[in-house]
Chain A
Amino acid sequence: MAALTTWESTLKERALAPTQASGRLYTAWLAGLGLVVAWGFVAYIYQWRNGLYATDMRDRISWGLYISAFVFFIGISHAGTLISAILRASNAGWRSPITRIAESITVVSLISGALFVIVDMGRPDRLYQFWLNGNWQSPLMWDMMAITIYLTASVVYLYVPMIPDLAMFRDNLEGRVSRFQMWLYQSLAIGWDNNETQRRSLAKSITVLMVLIIPIAVSVHTVVSWIFAMTLRVSWNSTIFGFFFVSGAIYSGVATLIIVLAVMRRIYHLEEYITPTHFKYLSYLLATMSLVMIYGNASEYITKGFKMTEEDRFAFEQLFAGDFASMYWFYFFGGLVLPALIVAFKPTRTIVGVVIASVFVDIAMFIERYFIVVAGLRVPTMPYEPSSYSPTWVEWSILASGFAGFMLLLTLFARFFPILAVWEMTEERTSDQTSQHDRELEPAP
């Protein structure tokens, strides 16, 4: 039992440490991200004044980088909630050190994603029209509803399992953080003092949320894909789109989770808790999803390509041999095949290897979102010359600021909230020690 106590107190210290993070590099990181975000605001003000004229979107390619970023961010939001809910539901014991980080990625990326829709609107000043005159027939309305529900659900799902850890913060940080922060922990911990009744109702709530959140998450990315699949555009006219988008979302979500875990592990010295085993398991999930994606590609393109209608021919030529060919083949080989190979071979299945694979996956998935949107719109619907699209500095700036905002929010989350599910890890450890099995998660040599 003594061993457990030391273990527990080290864990607590590790979990508390990020609230004290400081140093020149840390400040520089925050300031750098802040600057990029601010630059994005400048670009947005420019766009507000000039209209979407400031972008390179035009009538014939009427969506571009913003909508791609929207789909991408909503996609990586599946990192958290869905993955952690699935792991929780399947009672995978190794999940406890990574769930919190996963869930925070969800909330943060949902916020970033939703903002891109507003950035893309011609009249953001009329957002209230969604409420006043909403049309339930419209896929965009479904999207609005699904994302609002998902954001609420994932905030709640992030918060509820965090209550015991917030109480831990409340009890251990007195005097080490500002009064405001103490007040925050005190109110958010809603009087948790770890008694039996509290533990029972917490467990009950988590179960309810977990069951709710899986269908919500799946529905969100399905309706995101339906923005495209509900139109008569030839490249989007596909029954596989919902499935394809959800798999792509999980795929890029796992990749993002791996990257964020690796970074946080290094910076906050969590090597003891986030172990190579975690990366191994997550990389298996990554490889599985890459195979699913390859299968999805085959299913989608071979069935269409075999019949090759006139419009399909145009779409195929531009995707596989024309303007978008380099993007597609990078996506296919660099983003689907390569990561699967990296994971398949033992010598490359290291943390560094898996992180590299994940970076490839994320880049490739962004590119995939981009060519789905842009190449899909580029197929002429009438006899006119195909249009072109190359994003302007405004679009790039806002995109960069979206990514910077994502990282900034994550950093701030780690600064103010417990990034390790300390109580779950302790519980896990206690039950392990009692039953004397499952040594899997011992730090690897």
Chain B
Amino acid sequence: MIQPKTVAFLGAAGLTLALLAASRSGPVPTLLLGVLVVLGAVPVYLRRSFSAAPVEGGGPGDDNTALRETPVELSSGGSSRREALKRLSMGGAALAIPAAVGAPTVIDMWKAKASDGPATGPSGRTRQWGMIIDLRRCDGCQSQGTAPQCTLACIEGHFAPEPMEWIEAYEAEMAGGGTQFIPTPCQQCQNPPCVSVCPVTATFSTPEGTVLIDQDRCIGCRMCMAACPYDRRFFNWGDPPIPPEAMLADYSVEHQAPAKKGTVMKCDFCPEMARAGTLPYCVQACPNDAIYYGDLEEDIATNGREVVAFSTYIADNNSYRLKEELGTQPRVHYIPGHGELVGRDRFTEGRIATRWPWVERVKGAVTWRR
């Protein structure tokens, strides 16, 4: 006789197995399940051993007929349960292996998403995007009388909600007095702390060496924001204040528009622009040509006006990377300076604040401070 309990149990076990099979993180749930099964086995064991016990009479449970009948049912139900448990944990282990080696990884999925696959250079090798920011030529756009134009262009290009500045020109004190501007996009770390802490792999590294976020998967735990040492991650705290036309954008992890409430965003290094053969918005917009974008693999970089050899240019100009000592291995290199080549006086402090071009048009939308 098949007990309804057995059916229910096998059903639950089947469902669990199906979930396991569907899961792309095989080892994790398997481990979890293993421990849960071990713990759950204790009451099951007790039930069995209680019912197997000879009734010595006089026990307080004696007057209970319903319970006295249970031993028979329990020993059969219990043993099939145990069998099932055994099979379940073995099945879990067996499943874990294909899940660990065969299941598509995030990178595979990313590859599938980007229809052309990762961008390749003339040599056929995958592009390795990098950036050089020449601080000698960055005056925070003070001579232009505007907010930093890299920031503005990036905002317009991505419909980045206020107050996100994916590339933010920080004004830092200098040791000898005065200040310098440091335009800071996501540093595209090669050992990215944000990627390792994301519990659902919504943040991931790409074969091109960039770090992207899948806003369709992000659960909004903000672990990555705590982990990023460069303050380069931004959260959609409310309904993102973006203009109506942003809604027309076909969402992709490569441009992140339209922004989604409750998820994290950051500079994506404009892979689509690069693949299409143009330069990121911020590079194009810089009036002083201070930002170079390029490929480490082909050893080439350009600010849109001149082409330089990536490695020689950074070596010859004593480049550095932000917080190099942390071991995050950023892909963004800085050439030290404070705007001297474009005539900035380092003692003139402050810069014009960024304004989001659609503030008037999205009236009623909430914005928030950083």
Residues on A close to B: CB < 8 A? 50-53, 55, 57-60, 62-63, 117, 120-124, 126-127, 129-141, 144-145, 148-149, 152-153, 156, 159-160, 163, 167-168, 170-171, 186, 189-198, 201-202, 205, 208-209, 212, 227-228, 230-233, 377, 380-384, 387
Contact = CB atoms under 8 A, between A and B. Distances in A.
A197 B53 contact: yes
Contact of A190 (B50, B55, B236): B50
Nearest to A230: B197
Contact of A135 (B43, B52, B198, B236): B198
Contacts of A383: 170-173, 182
Given A58-B369, A195-B55, A122 B193 contact: no
Given A134-B29, A233-B226, A123 B193 contact: no
Instruction: Please indicate which of the listed interface residues A123, A129, A139, A208 has the most CB atoms of chain B within 10 Å of its own CB.
Output: A123
Contact of A186 (B64, B182, B184, B236): B64
Contact of B199 (A144, A149, A212): A144
Given A121-B221, A149-B32, A152-B39, A136 B53 contact: no
A197 B46 CA distance: 11
Contacts of A57: 237
Contacts of A51: 236-239, 261-262
B287 to A, nearest CB: 23
B60 interface: yes
A120 B308 CA distance: 47
Interface in B53-71: 53-56, 59-64, 66-68, 70-71
Interface stretch (B16-24, B151-159, B269-277, B354-362): B16-24
B330 to A, nearest CB: 13
Given A53-B238, A231-B197, A232-B227, A202 B46 contact: yes
Contacts of B171: 383
A122 B221 contact: yes
B231 A381 contact: yes
A50 B227 CA distance: 26
Contacts of B64: 170, 186
A53 B25 contact: no
B49 interface: yes
B149 to A, nearest CB: 20
Contact of A191 (B19, B51, B223, B226): B51
B118 interface: no
Interface stretch (B140-148, B212-220, B292-300, B337-345): B212-220
Nearest to A232: B229
B200 A134 contact: yes
A272 B229 CA distance: 57
A231 B29 CA distance: 24
A134 B43 contact: no
Instruction: Please indicate which of the listed interface residues A121, A126, A205 has the most CB atoms of chain B within 10 Å of its own CB.
Output: A126
Given A171-B63, A197-B49, A383-B170, 4 more contacts: A126-B217, A145-B31, A190-B70, A195-B55
B234 interface: yes
Contacts of A138: 196-199, 223
Interface string B105-143: 010000000000000000000000000000000000000
24 contacts: A50-B239, A52-B262, A122-B236, A129-B217, A131-B29, A132-B25, A132-B200, A133-B24, A135-B200, A137-B197, A144-B199, A156-B40, A156-B43, A159-B43, A160-B42, A170-B64, A191-B71, A198-B50, A201-B50, A232-B328, A233-B226, A383-B173, A384-B231, A387-B370
A156 B39 contact: yes
A133 B54 CA distance: 49
Nearest to B328: A232
Nearest to A129: B200
A192 B221 contact: no
B309 interface: no
A381 B229 contact: yes
A131 B51 contact: no
Contact of B46 (A60, A120, A145, A190): A190
A53 B226 CA distance: 18
B15 interface: no
Given A53-B366, A156-B42, A231-B226, A145 B32 contact: yes
B225 interface: yes
A116 to B, nearest CB: 12
- The A interface, classified by DSSP as helix, strand, loop or mixed, is helix
A120 B31 CA distance: 26
Contacts of A163: 46
B284 to A, nearest CB: 25
Contacts of B25: 131-136
A136 B26 CA distance: 10
A148 B32 contact: yes
Nearest to A153: B39
Contact of B42 (A126, A131, A208): A208
A421 B164 CA distance: 57
Nearest to B62: A193
B302 interface: no
Contacts of B255: none
A268 to B, nearest CB: 23
A395 to B, nearest CB: 13
Contact of B222 (A122, A170, A201): A122
Contacts of A191: 47, 50-51, 61, 67-68, 70-71
Contacts of B68: 191
A11 B236 CA distance: 57
Contacts of B333: none
Nearest to B66: A186
B171 to A, nearest CB: 7
A152 B36 contact: yes
Given A53-B366, A133-B217, A195 B54 contact: yes
A123 B45 contact: no
A188 B28 CA distance: 31
A127 B40 CA distance: 24
A123 B263 contact: yes
A133 B104 CA distance: 11
B331 interface: no
B17 to A, nearest CB: 13
Given A59-B370, A135-B200, A227-B223, A382 B184 contact: yes
B27 interface: yes
B35 interface: yes
Contacts of B197: 137-140, 230-231
B235 interface: yes
A202 B237 CA distance: 51
A137 B105 CA distance: 14
Contacts of B319: none
Interface string B226-252: 111111011111110000000000000
B326 interface: yes
Given A132-B22, A195-B56, A383-B182, A201 B35 contact: no
Contacts of A189: 61, 67
A286 to B, nearest CB: 30
